[in-house]
Amino acid sequence: MGRKRLHDATDGRPTVHTVAARAGVSIASASRVLNGVGGSAETVRRVREAAAEVGYVPNAIARSLQSQRTGLIAFAVEDIGNPVYVAMMRAIEAVVAESGRQLLVHATSGQVASETALLRRLAHRYVDGMIISPIRVTDSHVEAMTASPVPVVVIGQLPDDVPVDNVRTDSRTGVALAVDHLAAAGRTRIAFLNGPLDTVPGVARDAGYRAAMARHGMSADMIEVGDFQYAAGRAAAERLLARARPDAIVCANDLIAVGALHALLVSGLRVPQDVALVGMDDTELAQMSYPQISSVSLGSEIRGRLAAQLLLDRIADADLPPRREQVPPSLVIRASSGGAS
Amino acid sequence: MGRKRLHDATDGRPTVHTVAARAGVSIASASRVLNGVGGSAETVRRVREAAAEVGYVPNAIARSLQSQRTGLIAFAVEDIGNPVYVAMMRAIEAVVAESGRQLLVHATSGQVASETALLRRLAHRYVDGMIISPIRVTDSHVEAMTASPVPVVVIGQLPDDVPVDNVRTDSRTGVALAVDHLAAAGRTRIAFLNGPLDTVPGVARDAGYRAAMARHGMSADMIEVGDFQYAAGRAAAERLLARARPDAIVCANDLIAVGALHALLVSGLRVPQDVALVGMDDTELAQMSYPQISSVSLGSEIRGRLAAQLLLDRIADADLPPRREQVPPSLVIRASSGGAS
DNA sequence: CAGACTTCCGGAAACGTTTACAAAGGGAGC
DNA sequence: GCTCCCTTTGTAAACGTTTCCGGAAGTCTG
C-alpha cells in the first residue's frame, strides 16, 4: 500500500524478485537457479517451485541489456517477393534458428538511402548482426558497413579492399555457361535480357554475355534492359521480338525469364523449338513453369547458409580476419533449352 | 586508470553519460535534450554538440527496457516461400514500417508444436505483438494465444468464442465462386484438388466445393488431396487424370493450380479448351503462368494490412473489444478458364 | 518587493536481468 | 581443534536509458 513501491506491484507480471521473495532466497540465488548454474538441492527445489507457481518467464529485453545481445539477426533485401531472396531467407532462417536466434527481415526497395539508413541504424544495436544483399554498392554503403558496431555480412560483390565478410558468386561466368550451352546446341542468334546497368549484378552479367558472345564470334546486338522483375522481362522480350528474331534468349534472372517465356508463347513461338530460353538463379519458378526453364544456379541456398555461418562466426569472434566465400555457378538444363521435360 | 570504473570505460561506445559529461550537464538533461523535450537553448546546443562529437547513438535495448516496448512485430507463418504469405508479408511490412516498427519473421513449418512454442515465447516479450496465420488451430494454440501478455492477431478462422482479434476470409464461398463460374461456362465435370483435410482451409474449401457442386446438381466425386504445394498439386492432377476425365479443375491454392497446369500440359491437354483451371489466392504466380490462371482472390494484401492495423490498434489500446474483420473473396478471371489472355 | 508561477536542472530511482565479490557454512585432512 | 578448500548464499553493482521529484532560478503580477 506504500506510495513508493520497490518491486512487483500487484499489477505487474512476475519478475525474478517475485520468485526470489516467494522462495525466500535472494534474487541472485533465484537467477542462478533459473539459469541452471549452482544452487543447493533445496534452493533449486524452492525456486523452481516458486517460479512455476507464479508462472515466471524471464524478460528478454532485460536479459539482452545485461548480456549485450539481442539474439536477433537481420536480413535486408531489396524485395521479399523475389524467389531468389526467399530461397536465401529460408536457408538463413534455418541456420539462425539453429543457433537459437531469430530472423528480422527488412525490405529496402533497393533504394540506396534506405539501405544505408538501415546500416546506420545498426549503431543502435537492435540486432546482433546483419546480412545484406545490396543490388548497388555505393561509398555510403561501404562507409556505413565498416562503421557498424555489429557485424555485417554482404551477399554479393564488394570492392576487394573492404574488410567485410562476404559471399559472392560469379554471375559473369554464369552467363557464359548459358551462352556456351546454347551455342553448343547450335543456337546462333542469342539474345540477352538484362537488369539495370547501374546495379552490380547488371554489369557483371552484361560483361559475361558480351565476353561469351565474342568468344563464340557472335555479335552482342540483341540486348534489352529492364529491371529484374517479371513484367519488365515480358516487356523486354516484346521489344526484342519486335525488332529481331533470336533463336535463344538468356535472361539475367528467373523472373525475367518467366516474363520472356510468356511473351514468346503469346507471340506463338515454341520453346525450345523456335527459341531456347535460359534463366538465372535457378529458383522454384524455373521448375514451376511450363516448359520448365533451364537456369544458371548461383547457389542461393548455399550462399544464404554460408552468409549466416560467416555472420555467426564473426559474432562469436570479432577478431577473425575478413572472410570471403565464393560459390561457383552451375547450369541446370531443363526443357526450355532442349533438355528433358 | 581506476580499477572500479563507474561509467564509460575507454573501450566502450559512448552512452548518455559520455555525452552528459562532455556537455557538462546531468544525464537527465542530456536525455531530455536528446529526446527533444525541454532544455534551455544553451543546454541544447552543448548536448547536441557533445553528442555529435562522440558520435552518440542511443542503445535500443536499454530504451526498450525502460519503455517496455521493443518496436518489433512478429509474423509467423508456415512457409515463407508460399507467395500468398509473401504478399501478406509485404503488406504487413509496409504498415509496420510506417509505424516505425520492424518485422520479425518466423517459419513454423506448420507444426503445431513449433507454433505453440512460438506463442508461448511471447511471454518473454521479445516482441510487441504477433500476427500468426496457423493452418491448423488446436486447443493449445488457443490457450497460448489467450495467455499471451502481448497482443496476437490471427489471420484465418478461429472459434467464435476466442477473444482474439482476427482477420478472416470466406474460402468456402471462394470455392463456390469458382465452381459457379465454371458451371456458367458450361463445364460439367468439375474436379477439385484440395490441401490436407486436417487443416482449417482444407475443410472449408472441401465444404465449399461439395455444397456448390450439389447446388448445381453435379456429383463431387473428382477430389484429390495433397498438401498445399506445387509438387503435390502436380501429383494430384496426375492421379486425377489417370482415373477421370474432368473438363475443369478447381484448386485449393495457386501452387496446386500451377502444378495441375503443368500436369495438364504435359499430358497434352489444352487449357482452357480441354480443361479449364481455377486457382485460389490470386498470387503473382497465377499471373506469371501461361496461360494466366484464373484465381479466387482472398485479398491477401488486404488481410495482411488489416491484421497489421488491428495489431497496432491493440498495442495502442489493450482494452479494445476483440475485433474481427472479414474480407470477401472475389474471382479474378483469366485465360485458364476462358477469360482474356 | 513579496509571492505565485514557470522553466530548467540534477539526483536518484526504475526497468529486469546477470554477475563480481565477499562472507558464511561445512567437510576433510592433519 | 585448526587450517584449508569448496560450495552456497546474499549484497550490490552493472547494463543504458527515461522519468519522477524536489530545488533553484528566473519571470511575471499585483
The pLDDT value given to residue B297: 98
According to the model, what pLDDT value does residue B110 have?
A: 85
> Do β-strands A190-194 and A248-251 pair in parallel, antiparallel, or remain unpaired?
parallel
Grid cell of A164 as nine digits: 567485410
pLDDT digits (tens, 9 = 90+) for A292-332: 999 999 999 999 999 999 999 999 999 999 999 999 999 99
Range among A18-22, A100-104, A233-237 rated most confident: A233-237
Which amino acid, one-letter code, is at A198?
Answer: D
Strand order in the sheet with A294-297: A223-225, A190-194, A248-251, A276-280, A294-297, A330-332
Taking CA atoms, A230 is separated from A195, A256, B223, in Å, by: 11, 5, 33
Pairs of CB atoms within 8 A across A/B: 112
Written as one letter, the residue type at A254 is: D
Alpha carbons B131 and B307: distance in angstroms, whole number:
7
d(CA A80, CA A95): 18
Chain B's closest residue to A291, CA to CA, is B262
Q: What percent of chain A has pLDDT over 90?
A: 90
Distance from CA of A102 to the nearest CA of B (A): 8
CB-nearest to A81 from B59, B86, B259 is: B86
Characterise A242 by phi-psi region: left (phi > 0), alpha (psi -120 to 50), beta (else). alpha
Distance in angstroms, CA of A114 to C1' of D25? 46
Residue B340 is predicted with a pLDDT of 65
C-beta of residue A178 within 8 angstroms of C-beta of residue A191: no
The sheet carrying B248-251 orders its strands as B223-225, B190-194, B248-251, B276-280, B294-297, B330-332
Residue B218 CB burial class (10 angstroms; 0-12, 13-18, ≥19)? middle
pLDDT of res. B11: 55
Supply the pLDDT for residue A81.
Answer: 83
- Nearest nucleotide, C1' to the C-alpha of B47? C9
Average pLDDT over residues A192-203: 97
Residue A12 is predicted with a pLDDT of 72
Q: Is the CB of B7 under 7 A from strand D?
A: yes
Q: How much helix, strand and coil, in percent to the nearest 5, is found in chain B?
A: 45, 15, 40
CB contact under 8 A, B126 and A61: yes
Residue A105: which of B103, B261, B289 has the nearest Cβ? B103
**In sequence order, which residues have a C-beta less than 8 Å from that of residue B9 and are 6 or more positions away?**
none
Residue A134 has pLDDT above 50, yes or no: yes
Task: Output the pLDDT for position A254.
Answer: 98
Which pLDDT value is given to residue A109? 85
CA dist., res. B256 & res. A1, Å (int): 62
pTM of the model: 0.92
Buried b (16+ CB within 10 A) or exposed e, B240-279: bbeeeebbbbbbbbbbbbbbbbbbbbbeebebbeebbbbb
Residue A341 pLDDT level (bands cut at 50, 70, 90)? low
Q: How many angstroms separate the Cα of B311 from the Cα of each of B73, B172, B304?
A: 9, 26, 11
Q: Which of A292, A220, A256 is closest to B259 using CA atoms?
A: A292
Q: Taking CB atoms and an 8 Å limit, are A89 and B70 in contact across chains?
A: no
pLDDT score for A340: 64
The answer to whether A36 CB sits below 7 Å from nucleic acid chain D is no
Complete DSSP assignment for B258-318: HHHHHHHHHTT--TTTT-EEEEES--HHHHHSSSPPEEEE--HHHHHHHHHHHHHHHHH-T
Task: Tell me the DSSP string of A179-246.
Answer: HHHHHHTT---EEEEE--TTSHHHHHHHHHHHHHHHHTT-----EEE--SSHHHHHHHHHHHHHH---
For strand D, give the nucleotides within 7 A of a protein CB: 7-20
* Contact between A132 and A144 (Cβ < 8 Å): no
A9-13, A79-83, B270-274: range with lowest mean pLDDT: A9-13
Q: What is the DSSP string of B148-187?
A: -SS-EEEES---TT---EEEEE-HHHHHHHHHHHHHHTT-
Which portions of chain B are predicted below pLDDT 50?
A: 1-10
Q: Provide the positions of strand C that have an atom within 7 A of a protein CB.
A: 7-20
Sheet holding B165-169, edge to edge: A324-327, A165-169, A152-155, A129-132, A72-77, A102-107, B102-107, B72-77, B129-132, B152-155, B165-169, B324-327
Mean pLDDT taken over chain A: 93
8-state DSSP, A48? H
Strand D close to A43 by CB, under 7 A: yes
Residue A1 pLDDT > 50: no
Check whether A9 has a pLDDT greater than 60. Answer: no
Footprint of strand C on the protein (CB under 7 A): A 4-7, 9, 12-13, 15-17, 27-28, 31-32, 34-35, 56-59, 61-63, 65-67; B 24-29, 32, 38-40, 42-43, 62, 65-66, 68
Over residues A131-157, mean pLDDT: 95
DSSP annotation of B247 reads S
Picking from B168, B222, B152, the residue whose alpha carbon sits closest to that of residue B192 is B222
Distance from CA of A289 to the nearest CA of B (A): 7
- Please give the pLDDT value at position A8: 47
Considering chain B, what percentage of its residues have pLDDT values greater than 70? 96
For an interface test with B, which of A103, A115, A126, A234 has the most B Cβ atoms less than 10 Å from its Cβ?
A126
**In terms of Cα–Cα distance, which of B206, B180, B177 is closest to B194?**
B206
Q: How far apart are the first and last CA of chain B?
A: 77
**What separation in angstroms does the CA of B146 have from each of B142, B151, B163, B166, B326?**
6, 9, 7, 13, 21
**Distance to chain A for B105, nearest Cα, Å:** 6
